[in-house]
Amino acid sequence: MRVTIKPSSMVKPAEPTWSGRLALSELDQTGMTTHVPTIYFYTQPSDDWNTVLQTLITSLTTTLVHFYPLAGRLSSIAGGRLELDCNSAGVQLTEAYADIKLVDLDDLLESPMINKLIPSVDYRQTPLEDTPLLLLQVTRFCCGSWSLGFCISHVVVDGQSALHFLSEWARVCRGGLVASPPYLDRKILRAGESPITTCSSIHQYGQFIPPPILIGQSSNKNERRKKTTVAMMKLTETLVTKLRNKANQSRKNEGGHCFTRYEAVTAHTWRTACMIRNHESEQPTAIGICIDVRSKMKPPLPEKYFGNAIIDVIATGTSGEIVSKSLGYVSSKIKEAIEKVNDEYVSSMIDFLKNQEDLSKFQDLQWIRDDGGPFYGNPNLGVISWLTLPMHGVDFGWGKELFTGPGTGDAVDGDFLILRGEEASGSLVVASCLQVRHMEDFKRVFYQSIED
């Protein structure tokens, strides 16, 4: 596939907006400080292409009046921290044309060509202060169908906030008004304020402790260098039910509570990875789990809070333990890690981070650090769930998407993403990135062990 890309332009809010420096919360600054790629595919619109482009751009300028932080830029301040300069510098929009029909992409979930349809950022070539927080690529296929590549800074928003913006932009594009303005005051998470306590210890928060490395190695550099590949593991509703039943049956025998499908599938993924990576039995292994804290705070955060309201928690074990114990046992490790997150835990973590003189040691700053930050590759995993994100049904005025999914350009060994399968079914997709030498075994054992 050849994609012809026209010069990009900066789209700015249609009206003057508040300008100045906006403090970011600690939860904004210690997660993934790169951009997250997503893509939407649509059938041929009823209007001519120039009308489609102009409608998308005009509605974007209107939407940015309400979501003006996305048109700003990040800047560094003391202590390795970042802040948001609301300067209306703009959102980058690129128009592109592909020389194939949409059907030629075949399986949209796994086509490596998808990454040509999503804008990317070279963090080492572009200064932080010049990097757009939102980059968009609108690509027309020769059949008339089109795609929207969406790449947004994870410093500024998490998945819930990103999709809040996208849904409101689509509403405006259809001729409506912004129905749910974002809640922009990050002081609700004490952004820019001083710590209240100093008693927190790093050992309370496993996400800030370097993940285990392979026994016999002094660093993870060798594992970082190994070639990776991506696969989409499709789980029918029947297979998801089998996994939940398998986890819950063993748990019931031990007198425990039922597991969610996320907990069962995540545990199964961790066990499978340990099985095929050929670890020594005593090999320490960790799994990073991303938690949305909106409803866990007291009081809960405002419904349309615009920023990051997620933290990572870590479950640990040895590879031999994870492989030899029941799926219910491994699921319980996932559940216990999730259930410890409450208002006290989150507030304590915020204080811990506020007490750090240099926050950069807890960040994944790819434009600063050559090693790319924390590495949850072999012998570890990092699993993110998009199951609760309102990804589907985004209609810009020419019908809902044919397909939506994540980009895979920046995936590294150990990155796993759990997505909903076909709409209105209970199926799931586990987007998996592993070393090439492990992937075929992983795919085989992943399905085979469900039936064991």
Catalytic residue positions?
Answer: 154, 395
Pairwise CA distance, residues 32 & 27, whole Å: 10
247 contact partners, CB below 8 Å, separation of at least 6: 259, 263, 264, 267, 268, 326, 327, 328, 331
Q: Judging by DSSP bridges, how do beta strands 428-435 and 73-76 pair with one another?
A: unpaired
DSSP secondary structure, 215-230, as one string: TT-SSSHHHHHS-EEE
Contact (Cβ atoms closer than 8 angstroms) between residue 234 and residue 421: yes
CA atoms within 13 A on the CB side of 39: 25
The candidate with the shortest Cα–Cα distance to 342, out of 273, 293, 413, is: 293
CB-based contact 192:359 (threshold 8 Å): no
In which residue are the tokens 């405006």 written?
A: 172
From residue 29, alpha-carbon distances to 91, 254, 384 in Å are 21, 40, 18
Going by their DSSP bridges, the two strands 381-385 and 415-420 should be labelled as parallel
- Specify the amino acid at residue 446: F
Reference 134, options 121, 147, 124; nearest CA is 121
**Quick one: which of 305, 315, 308 has its CA closest to 339?**
315
Q: Residue 148 in 3-state DSSP?
A: strand
403 phi/psi in degrees, rounded to 5: -160, 145
The CA angle 67-72-74, to the nearest 5 degrees, is: 125
DSSP string, 91-115: EEEEEEEESS-GGGG-STTT-GGGG
